[in-house]
Every structure is written in structure tokens, then in C-alpha cells.
Structure 1
Amino acid sequence: MQQKEPLHLGQRIHLIDGFDMGWPQRTGTYVIAEEELTLIETGPSTSVPYIREGLARLGYTPDQVKYVIVTHIHLDHAGGAGLFLQECPNAKLVVHPKGARHLIDPSRLIAGARAVYKEQFDALFDPIVPVPEERLVQKTDGDTLRIGPNSELHFMDSPGHANHHFSIYDPVSNGMFTGDTAGVHYPMLRKEGIHFVLPSTSPNQFDPDQMLRSIERYEKRNLDRIYFGHFGMTEQVEDVYRHIREWLPVFVATGEEVLAEGLGDRELAQRLLVRVTEYLQSHGVADDHPVYEVIRLDLSVCSMGIVDYLQKK
């Protein structure tokens, strides 16, 4: 098992790399070291051993965890929640009300993910363990959660990627845990001096208008930090908003072109990959950079969501 030291992000927050799909810097679990030890995101079940080891390296045991929060219930963010809770006897799982029932009975979640990931599903996500209803805490827009004497997290509905998505505002760091609503961040490009974010438009609740409205709500907070579901923290928050606003219309317009030609999500993914590759190459990213493997997968899933949105529309 690969393992990295948890990243210290300052402001009493660490980030444990969950090695989703075996890739570093893909998904992670944020650890907020307060009186009520709080984790944000579990990743899939394959990430649970990394969380356990990361907590140990920080000097914690699972029985000290009081809250586990998932921004939304897609399996790469919450698939490991039920499995991890089995190790955390004193923890409650915090989730959006629209997602709670799917953690209690994950059968529809599993079916949806199998349709996307097909034969890869078991290796990526198995097992999916149901969460007992009595261990769930539901939070929605405007709700708060006190985790320390002077520390309270604020919940904000942030649809666009999914209807059951909230974001978590942390006043101590003036930062927002955005899950997938503010897109996917590619930290492996930092070595090239490139800060790059793409929208996350996976099926089946993607809505570009709602995504942009959520971005506007982030902006009104005058945030100092964004904590991504994929992956890491940035203080270049205006850059994030700009990337989403630039790329989201490209994604949707290219989808409309492809559907008008009677083609589908595979062609859309290929065309988007060409656009993204041209952009990165113009910024000095070599053809053989490993980031393209990750982006290729992301665009494949994003294209399914765009086609699904346009066909419903």
C-alpha cells in the first residue's frame, strides 16, 4: 500500500491522500483537529486503509472521530463511509437530506455506478456497506455543526454537480469544502507552475445553470481557500471561478455539436480531450505528462453527464 504523510494545510486542517483508483492526489480525506474530531469525505472503500493509517500518523485512533461529513454521495466521495463507520463507534455521518436514504440503502447508488464504470466497478468501489439510519445526521442550507468551543461549520446547498450536494464553510480558515461543485483540481500540474481546474459534469444530475449559481454563492463569501474533493487546497480562488466559467460553456456547446451530428459521449470525450490538450500544450505541458491519463478518465465521465443533461433538456 502506498502511503504519504498527511498534508498539513494550516488552520488545524490536514489532508490524507486516499489513492482513489491507485492514483496519488486523486481524492482525499480532510481532518479538522477540533474538540470534536471531524473528517470530510471518505472516498471509496479502497481508501479506508489510507484514512486509518493517516489518522495514526496524526496521532489519532478511529474511536476519536466524532463526525464524518460527505459533500455528496457519489461513491468516489462517500462509497467508503459505511465501511469506515464500522471502525468509528463514536462517529456520526453528516449528509444532505436528499442523499441520506441512498446511504441507508445503497442499491441505486451501486446500480448507477455500475452503469458508468462497468467491469471496473468491483475493483474501484467494492464493498459498499449500508449506513445505519441512527448514525446519520442530515444538514441542509443554513444549518451549522459545532465541532469546537470556537469552531462551527456552516452548510450551504451547492447543486450543479448533484442535487444532493452541499458545501461546508469553515470560518476559521475562511475556506469552503466544495466537493465537486467547484470542479476538479489537477495538483500534479503545479510542478509546471500551472493552476488548472475543470468542471465536474458527471451523470445524472449535472446542471450548468445551478453550478454557476453555486459558484456565485461561493464568490459572495469572499473565500480565502477552496478545499477540493479532487484534490487539495488552493488560495487562488478567483482562478477557480474563472476556469469553471470558461470551460463549462465549452463542455456544453461541444456536447450540443456532437448530439446535432448524431454522435454520443465517446465522441464528445474525444473532442473535449483535444481542446484541453491544446490548452495545456500551449502552457508548456508535455504530450507524455501523466495528467492526461487522469483527464481522459474525467472527460469520459463528464461527457456522459453532459449528454444525459442535453437529452433530458
Structure 2
Amino acid sequence: MTTSHGIHTIDTGFVRPQFDAAYLIVENGRGAFVDCGTNYAVPRMLTALDQAGLTPADVDWLILTHVHLDHAGGAGELIAQLPNAKLVVHPRGARHMIDPSKLWAGASAVYGEAVMVETYGHLRPIPAERVIEATDEYLVDLAGRPLLCLDTPGHAKHHNTIYDSRANVCFTGDVFGLSYREFDQDGRPFIVPTTSPVQFDQKELHASIDRLVALKPAAMYLTHYGRVEDIDRLAADLHAQIDAMVELAHSADKTSQRHDILKDLLADLYLGRANAHGWSRDKPALVDIIGMDIELNAQGLEVWLDNQKKAA
């Protein structure tokens, strides 16, 4: 757990080490969590509090970037441990935190009930009176430290980025992509967009990235994974890859094995860029690290393709 400007990075333990992060911001003896991982991360969140010298009663806020379960699955269990905290969430996500049954049913239909319980644990509802809907530019006050919620769609329609002006950093959830430390070269991060289903939107994602870059932050804190700097280069890489991924999706759409071909094309795209970045390993090694993301990116692009056809 690293600390800068009172910001603590918490490895939630989801999937593998340094895959899924949550954050604790400490100001004047008060705390705010940004994202929380799954139910199984709750002990890690409470340990992080203890290590920061806080108790559960010292936490005022749990702020969600969005309600995908690797970010928000443990929100109900965590809030139950934080007697004074309110949940801050995008208006489109609030109802799923108050009544997570539809969220659970939708994911269970894809993955199966047993896998859902094993992966995330049962989702616990959050009392409506403890939920705050954060519209665009909603300001969270953490003991005098402003945390600004910015509506940043493109990855999901229920996505907020949290801008911390005190530290001049953004907590970006998934809208500023994925950057795993295994790909770092001489401290330089490598980044990949995330288009996981079901609400990827090319134009909105470009616009959200530009909105964050315009703030001129010193760093981005990604859920997957950790703090990254060199923002202008990473943003340019994201923009280029988003358009390249859309082109690959269109090309795969003309084939009979769309999903498998698209996955292979995406892996080749990321491998070429990783190798150009200085990462010298091969395609199987890349798939071993980001195979899950390639699968989800392919699925999200396919949903987007099909939606484009319906709208035409």
C-alpha cells in the first residue's frame, strides 16, 4: 500500500495480485474510499484503514466510479461496516446498489450462480437513505478536501471519474484504460482501453478521455492497476487503440467466426504495441496476462457492432 497526498492504494486481491485496486483518501483524520472490489476485499479495506490510523467510524464516504462488480460488488458489505459513511454513485448506478437483484440476475445469466458466489459473494443491498446520486460535477467534501465527480461515459453510462484537486489526480475507474505493471519498461507504463460489455461508446470514450486530460492532472489512479503518469502519451495511445479496435471489430464482423477472430486480432494489436513499447515477450505470455480483458473487450465491441446495426 503506497501513500501520496494521503492516498493509499489497496490491492483488493481480485483475480491476481496488482490486478484490481481500490483507494483510501485520508484528510484531517477522515477517510473516503474510492471503489471497493468484491465482498472478499472487505477485510483488506478494513486493514487499510487500520494501517492508515483510522477506524471504520472515521470513514465519511465510499465513492464508486461505476457499478461493475470488480469495482462495486463489495459496496453493501463494506458500507455495513462503516457506521457513518454514505455511498456516492452515478445516478444510473444508484438503483443497482439499493436493489442489486437485477445486477445479480444479469451477471448470473452469463456466468452462472455458483461462479458468481465464488467470484463476488452475494450482493448486499444498501439502504436508500445512505445512497447519494452524484450528478456531473457533484462535489464530495472530505474534511474540507474537495472531490469532484465527473460524468465520464464511454466505458459505461453509469461512470464517474473523481478529480482530487488537492493532489491534482483523477481516480478513473475504467475510462482511462488498463495498465498492468507487468508491462512497465524502465518505469514507463503501457496502456490498453477497456471496451467490456455492454455500454462501450467510441465517441463518448474519446470525449471522456479528453475531458480528463484537459484537467492537466499529475497522475491517474486506475482500478487496473495503480498510479500512472505521462498522461498525454497514455491518452494518445488510448485514442489510437480505440479507433484501431473499432476497425478490427468491423473487419471481424464480416467473418463467420467473429468472436474468435476478433479476439485474435486484438491480441495481435496489443502484442505489436507492447513490443514497440519494449516488452519483449510473446503472444501466449501476453494472453496469459490480459486474456480476460481481451475476451471482455471483444464481447463489448460485438455488442457495440450489433447496436450500430440496429440503429442504422
In the superposition, the TM-score normalised over structure 1's length comes to 0.92
CA–CA separation in structure 1 for the residues paired with 2:187 and 2:122: 38
The equivalent residue for 1:143 is 138
The equivalent residue for 2:289 is 294
Mean Cα deviation higher: 162-171 or 46-55: 46-55
Amino acid at match of 1:135: R
1:60 Cα deviation (Å)?
2.1
Cα-Cα RMSD = 1.8
Structure 2 residue 211 is matched with structure 1 residue 217: yes
Contact 2:40 2:74 in 1 (8 A): yes
CA–CA separation in structure 2 for the residues paired with 1:299 and 1:288: 12
Amino acid at match of 2:231: V
Aligned counterpart for 1:271 among listed residues 252, 260, 265? 265
Aligned counterpart for 1:80 among listed residues 63, 69, 74? 74
Question: What whole-Å deviation, never above 9, does each CA across 1:247-273 have from its counterpart, x for those lacking one?
Answer: 111211111111111333233112211
Contact 1:116 1:301 in 2 (8 A): no
Amino acid at match of 2:96: H
1:117 Cα deviation (Å)?
3.7
Contact 2:172 2:220 in 1 (8 A): yes
Contact 2:268 2:283 in 1 (8 A): no
CA–CA separation in structure 2 for the residues paired with 1:43 and 1:290: 26
Question: What whole-Å deviation, never above 9, does each CA across 1:110-163 have from its counterpart, x for those lacking one?
Answer: 2332344446322211221111111101111122111123x1111110000000
Contact 1:141 1:156 in 2 (8 A): yes
1:285 Cα deviation (Å)?
2.7
CA–CA separation in structure 1 for the residues paired with 2:33 and 2:86: 10
Amino acid at match of 1:57: Q
Contact 1:188 1:291 in 2 (8 A): no
Mean Cα deviation higher: 231-240 or 256-265: 256-265
The equivalent residue for 1:309 is 304
Amino acid at match of 1:239: R
Aligned counterpart for 1:240 among listed residues 223, 234, 237? 234
Aligned counterpart for 1:107 among listed residues 79, 88, 101? 101
Contact 2:263 2:294 in 1 (8 A): yes
1:105 Cα deviation (Å)?
1.2
In the superposition, the TM-score normalised over structure 2's length comes to 0.92
Contact 2:38 2:120 in 1 (8 A): yes
Mean Cα deviation higher: 32-41 or 284-293: 284-293
CA–CA separation in structure 2 for the residues paired with 1:240 and 1:70: 23
- Paired residues, number: 305
Mean Cα deviation higher: 263-272 or 129-138: 263-272
Assess, with a 3 A threshold, how the Cα gap between structure 1 residues 245 and 45 changes in structure 2: closer, same or farther.
same
Assess, with a 3 A threshold, how the Cα gap between structure 1 residues 275 and 68 changes in structure 2: closer, same or farther.
same
Please state whether the residue corresponding to 2:253 is helix, strand or coil. Answer: helix
The equivalent residue for 1:183 is 177
Assess, with a 3 A threshold, how the Cα gap between structure 1 residues 7 and 115 changes in structure 2: closer, same or farther.
farther
Assess, with a 3 A threshold, how the Cα gap between structure 1 residues 291 and 148 changes in structure 2: closer, same or farther.
farther
The equivalent residue for 2:121 is 126
Question: What whole-Å deviation, never above 9, does each CA across 1:75-122 have from its counterpart, x for those lacking one?
Answer: 000010001111111111100111100111112212332344446322
1:281 Cα deviation (Å)?
3.4
CA–CA separation in structure 1 for the residues paired with 2:245 and 2:108: 24
Please state whether the residue corresponding to 2:61 is helix, strand or coil. Answer: strand
1:47 Cα deviation (Å)?
1.4
Contact 1:38 1:69 in 2 (8 A): yes
1:193 Cα deviation (Å)?
4.3
Assess, with a 3 A threshold, how the Cα gap between structure 1 residues 302 and 288 changes in structure 2: closer, same or farther.
closer
Assess, with a 3 A threshold, how the Cα gap between structure 1 residues 63 and 241 changes in structure 2: closer, same or farther.
same
The equivalent residue for 2:17 is 24
Q: Percent identical across equivalent pairs?
A: 33
CA–CA separation in structure 2 for the residues paired with 1:276 and 1:60: 41
Amino acid at match of 1:55: L
Assess, with a 3 A threshold, how the Cα gap between structure 1 residues 81 and 227 changes in structure 2: closer, same or farther.
same
The equivalent residue for 1:56 is 50
